[in-house]
Structure 1
């Protein structure tokens, strides 16, 4: 899995979800419904991903200071 699988962001949501289900041995259930809910949010569609990014950047910054 990687850039080739996801075709630079042009891959169908179904293929992406199935790839994660196989990779992590999980069932995402009605992932398309969840995707639609995220897409229809008025504010902060990617709240969780933003928090992950911010945490990673903070960790890298903290390590650079040591």
Structure 2
């Protein structure tokens, strides 16, 4: 009885560990890592810079 319950808990811990590893790997691949805070590139990409309109150019 005790052995079966211990195995059930062991399976539960193993499944939870695998789930956490998968979530962390996906988050790092998606760009939610520590470098995402300092990078200017977000998940949507950099903000495009549009050239000024002809009437905005100083003479």
Fold similarity call, TM over 0.5: no
TM bucket (normalised to shorter chain) is: 0.3 to 0.5
TM-score by length of 2: 0.39
Structure with the larger helix share: 1
TM-score by length of 1: 0.35
Larger gyration radius, structure 1 or structure 2: 2
